[in-house]
Amino acid sequence: MLAGLGPLEIVVILLVVLVIFGPKNLPKLGSALGKTVKNVREGMDGKDDENEDEDADAAKKAEEESKDSDAKSE
């Protein structure tokens, strides 16, 4: 399984995490962990949020320009 851990070991680890952090903090912990993993993956891929925003803006402008040119040709 996961890094040589069986199902029983994973359950024990999850129970220990539950006892340490408590049920109220688990959603916050999971969210923070998910965001961290996402940021690490994006960092490894070399993606930048600024570049993605610029790409999205450029795509929107190109789409608007194509709509404008289609409307003018009709």
pTM of the model: 0.45
DSSP-assigned letters across all residues of the chain: -BTTB-HHHHHHHHHHHHHHH-TTTHHHHHHHHHHHHHHHHHHHHT--HHHHHHHHHHHHHHHHHHHHHHHHH-
Give the tens place of pLDDT for each residue, 16-59. Answer: 988 998 888 888 988 998 999 999 999 888 765 555 566 677 77
Name the band, by pLDDT with cuts 50, 70 and 90, for residue 70.
Answer: very low
Name the band, by pLDDT with cuts 50, 70 and 90, for residue 64.
Answer: low
